């Protein structure tokens, strides 16, 4: 049997949070006897072609490494990816029956293509939702209409939805989606990525954030302000920020902040690092920090970076927002504080640094959660049972 992960919301084999979630799903299914194939459906120019990564077969049906100069040729490549994807799925289904295809997408045309595949190949289709489904569709009236149309299609076409939070389950239930077709899959992590002994990548101690450099989603501005409040008390510890901004405006804001706060020499922006390099940075940090604000985005989702933080056993300081408090308890397996307050976050950072032996014990208990509720294999078994028992 085969399980397909198809989408235009991630890249593979290298990428960001969505890519890590794809890896964890794929590895879990593979270890439970179901072959996984990953199809990168995005019309993006990439040096990657078809291949195998960590035992996972992946395909790039768009198949272009650079932009063609001719409009009609570009349109042909965009159309051809649909034909190529259909051909790939047909061959897989003939050789090793597909139990389901999970779609990572916010695009209307991809949703319509999912419906086509389900009817023609007679396969089950599942939507993956790890963020609010309308987060990108509220800016203008035309986008509002487009988002509502997309949502209506989702509720009528898909056989099931993997939801990262109870918030998203409640959202789709209110839109008329059947409760028994909605399945909670919290953030998952491959603990083996963080089980090795890594050489320190930097010559100093540091507090670290890793992810998208955003204000609304991850509150990087609050983290910078918090660090500035304690920096003079801990001259031997820097703040390392790994990742890139979703927009140039945010990037400028953060760079200007460190100048204004006079901590330019204490805050290091590494830019985006490869998936293979990140574990060494995380595992050698003094504290792993996430100052997630109280927002709709935070309430609906659950940060995959947080489960990666926990997998290291390093003390984690995080805001108690969304569903984070459902899994983590303050001073038990993480250090939680109120969202939106740089003072509160700074106090927690200072407490951990001043009580580090205790903090290490808390970090170890946080790591225990990644062997159970957040473990990729544990969740893969639940997903396989859901497909077998609820989608037939």
pLDDT confidence band for 212 (50 / 70 / 90): confident
Same domain, 211 and 275: yes
Question: Is the same domain home to 197 and 168?
Answer: no
- Judgement on whether residues 199 and 148 belong to the same structural domain of the protein: no
389 Cβ contact partners less than 8 Å away, ≥ 6 residues apart? none
Burial 69-91 (b: 16+ CB within 10 A, else e): eeeeeeeebeeebbebbbebbee
Q: Let me know: does 332 contact 310? Beta carbons within 8 Å.
A: no
Distance CA(268)–CA(258), nearest Å, equals 10
When the pLDDT of each residue in the chain is averaged and rounded to a whole number, the result is: 91
Residues 236 and 310 in one domain: yes
379 and 342 in a single domain? The answer is no
Average pLDDT over residues 2-19: 91
Q: Given a cut of 70, is residue 145 above it in pLDDT?
A: no
Task: Tell me, yes or no, whether 100 and 216 share the same domain.
Answer: no
Q: Decide if pLDDT at 371 tops 80.
A: yes
Q: Is the pLDDT of residue 158 over 90?
A: yes
Q: How far apart are the first and last CA of the chain?
A: 15
H/E stretch holding 351 reads: helix 342-354
pLDDT digits (tens, 9 = 90+) for 116-142: 999 999 999 999 999 887 665 555 555
98-117 mean pLDDT: 93
**What is d(CA 20, CA 193) in angstroms, rounded to the nearest whole number?**
11
Domain count of the chain?
2
Closest CA to 63 of 45, 79, 51: 45
Rounded Cα distance between 18 and 102, Å, is 13
Q: Is the pLDDT of residue 381 over 60?
A: yes
Do 60 and 119 lie in one domain? The reply is yes
Q: How far is CA 312 from the centre of its chain?
A: 17
CATH value at residue 213: 3.40.50.2000
Same domain for 19 and 167? Answer: yes
Query: Which domain, by its residues, includes 275?
Result: 192-369
Q: Which residues contact 367 (CB under 8 A, 6 or more apart)?
A: 310, 311, 312, 313
Cis peptide before 381 (omega within 30 of 0): no
Q: What is the pLDDT of residue 135?
A: 65
Say if residue 205 is in the same domain as residue 329: yes
Do residues 94 and 184 both lie within one domain?
yes
> Do 262 and 230 lie in a common domain?
yes
My answer on whether 10 and 114 are in the same domain is yes
């Amino acid at each position: 049997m085969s399980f397909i992960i198809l989408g235009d919301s991630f890249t593979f084999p290298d990428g960001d949070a969505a890519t890590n979630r794809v890896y964890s799903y794929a590895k879990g299914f593979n270890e439970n006897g179901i072959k996984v194939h990953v199809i990168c459906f995005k019309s993006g120019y990439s040096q990657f072609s078809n291949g195998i990564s960590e035992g996972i077969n992946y395909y790039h049906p768009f198949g272009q490494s650079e932009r063609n100069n001719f409009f009609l040729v570009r349109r042909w490549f965009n159309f051809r990816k649909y034909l190529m994807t259909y051909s790939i799925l047909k061959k897989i289904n003939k050789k090793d029956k597909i139990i389901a295809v999970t779609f990572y997408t916010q695009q209307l045309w991809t949703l319509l293509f999912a419906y086509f595949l389900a009817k023609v190949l007679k396969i089950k289709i599942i939507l993956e939702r790890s963020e609010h489904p309308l987060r990108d569709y509220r800016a203008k009236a035309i986008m509002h209409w487009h988002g509502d149309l997309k949502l209506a299609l989702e509720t009528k076409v898909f056989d099931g939805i993997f939801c990262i939070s109870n918030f998203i389950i409640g959202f789709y239930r209110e839109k008329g989606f059947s409760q028994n077709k909605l399945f909670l899959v919290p953030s998952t992590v491959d603990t083996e990525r963080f089980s090795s002994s890594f050489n320190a990548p930097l010559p100093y101690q540091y507090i670290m954030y890793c992810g998208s450099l955003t204000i609304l989603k991850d509150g990087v501005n609050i983290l910078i302000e918090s660090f500035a409040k304690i920096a003079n008390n801990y001259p031997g510890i820097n703040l390392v920020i790994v990742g890139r901004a979703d927009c140039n405006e945010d990037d400028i804001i953060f760079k200007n902040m460190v100048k204004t706060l006079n901590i330019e020499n204490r805050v290091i922006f590494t830019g985006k690092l490869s998936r293979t390099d990140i574990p060494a940075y995380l595992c050698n940090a003094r504290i792993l920090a996430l100052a997630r604000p109280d927002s709709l985005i935070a309430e609906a989702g659950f940060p995959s970076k947080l489960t990666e933080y926990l997998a290291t056993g390093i003390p984690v300081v995080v805001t108690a927002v969304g569903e984070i408090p459902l899994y983590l308890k303050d001073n038990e397996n993480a250090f939680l504080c109120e969202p939106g307050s740089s003072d509160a976050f700074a106090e927690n950072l200072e407490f951990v640094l001043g009580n580090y032996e205790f903090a290490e014990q808390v970090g170890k208990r946080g790591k225990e959660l990644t062997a159970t509720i957040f473990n990729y294999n544990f969740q893969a078994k639940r997903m396989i049972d859901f497909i077998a028992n609820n989608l037939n």
